[in-house]
Amino acid sequence: MRLIIVLAVPLICCCGPVIGALVPLGNLTSYGSKHYNTQCDIALGPEPGASTSATATTTTASVPQSVERQQRPEKNPYAELTFDPDDPNVTDRDLACASAMKTAPIQDEPWQETNSGPAVSCAADLALRYPEAGGTATMADYARDVIYSASIAGSTGQCAPTRAPAVVVVENCGDPTAATTAVILPATVGDQGYCGQVVDPKAASPGDLVFWEYVDRRATRVGVALGPGELVTVDSGKFARLRIPQGAEIQIKRVLGGGR
The domains located in the chain, with CATH, are 4-100 (no CATH), 118-254 (3.90.1720)
Among candidates 252, 253, 249, which has minimal Cα distance to 215? 249
3-state secondary structure of 234: strand
* Tens digit of each residue's pLDDT (9 = 90 or more) over 222-254: 999 999 999 999 887 788 999 998 876 899 999
pTM of the model: 0.82
Residue 15 pLDDT more than 50?
Answer: no
Pairing of strands 230-235, 218-225: antiparallel
Q: How far is CA 117 from the centre of its chain?
A: 19
Lowest mean pLDDT among 36-40, 84-88, 138-142: 84-88
Q: What is the DSSP letter of 111?
A: B
The b/e string for 15-41 (b: 16+ C-beta within 10 A; e otherwise) is eeeeebeeeebeebeeebeebbeebbb
